[in-house]
Amino acid sequence: MVAGGGYIGLELGIAFRKLGIDVTIVEAQERILPIYDDKLVEPVRRWLERNGVKLHLGARMLGLDAAGTGVDVETKSGEALTLPADKILVTVGRRPLTEGWGLEEMAVPMDGKFVRVDERCATSMKNVWAIGDLVGEPMLAHKASAQGEVVAEIIAGHRRRFDPVAIPAICFTEPEIVSVGLLPEAAQGQEVIVSTFPFQANGRALSMDAGRDGGFVRVVARKSDHRVLGVQAVGQHISELAGEFTHALEMGAVLEDIAGTVHAHPTLSEAFHEAPLKGLGHAIHM
């Protein structure tokens, strides 16, 4: 049994299911992967359903049952259930390990439980830096690595700062989800173009039997100047395109930049070519 239907719970739950283990996921919110919108999550939900993963949404774990062979759960309607479980994987709640390291004695300022740093990853204490999960969201390994490089170069005497336009987030579910920059609903106060191209119309996806699971690439761009604000995608092996998505935002690409870039055929990257084309009103393959 997995407690938590966020990205860690689903990544591990899906991995266990692929190994032939019966998996039940209990999530307190009304949907899995609540940080993503329904369209991104739907292909993953369908995979769980097809592969017999049991979902209890809007439910709350109360603890082990009296016999110690299951878990007592309260559903959103108030119904009490006891679900069988050989092992329980708890994937909810993360907090930084900031106690016991002398931070209090050093008078390092905090943002809640996180260490406060500036754009150089420097604390208020001279020659004391902090990176990664310790300094807050996004708590991702590649962000920590990038911050570590910045700090190493600063210590070596170079002028550097950590100020990325966007940091990609990947959910290694089945299929995978990538999100970089703004989701459509996050572009508040801006008129945007939201353009989606399905893997069902991508030759490479079809040849990999990856075109029928509802995968797509979606581009969010500002309507006034076509500046790309965000890219989201769901589909098999889509994590391999995270770098291209992020590069487009980092370089300040507009829809015309991506639409005018020749993408090799047959590749999944063609979907990233066609999504902006569709947003401009002239997609080729749909």
Cα torsion 143, 145, 151, 154: sign:
negative
User: What pLDDT shows up at residue 210?
Assistant: 85
Domain boundary pick from 118, 133, 155: 155
Domain presence at residue 97 = no
Domain presence at residue 58 = yes
State the residue for tokens 């703004």: 182
User: What pLDDT shows up at residue 236?
Assistant: 94
Q: Do both 114 and 51 map to the same domain?
A: no
Domain boundary pick from 42, 60, 90: 90
Domain that holds residue 86: 2-90
Domain boundary pick from 90, 118, 145: 90
**pLDDT tens per residue, the chain (286 residues)?**
999 999 999 999 999 999 999 999 999 999 999 999 999 999 999 999 999 999 999 998 888 888 778 899 998 888 888 999 999 999 987 778 888 888 778 888 888 889 999 999 999 888 999 999 999 999 999 999 999 999 999 999 999 999 999 999 999 999 999 999 999 988 777 899 999 999 999 999 999 888 888 999 999 999 999 999 999 999 999 999 999 999 999 999 999 999 999 999 999 999 999 999 999 999 888 8
- Encoding tokens for residue 95? 């907090």
User: What pLDDT shows up at residue 11?
Assistant: 97
Are the CB atoms for 216 and 198 separated by under 8 Å? yes
Task: Based on the residue annotation, tell me whether 265 is a catalytic residue of this protein.
Answer: yes
Q: Give me the CATH number covering residue 45.
A: 3.50.50.60
Query: Which of 56, 237, 263, 265 is labelled catalytic?
Result: 265
Q: Give me the CATH number covering residue 179.
A: 3.30.390.30
Domain presence at residue 98 = no
Domain presence at residue 164 = no
State the residue for tokens 């996806």: 205
Burial (CB < 10 A; 0-12, 13-18, 19+), residue 56, is buried
Q: Do both 122 and 178 map to the same domain?
A: no
Q: In the chain, how many domains are there?
A: 3
Domain presence at residue 162 = no
User: What pLDDT shows up at residue 76?
Assistant: 83
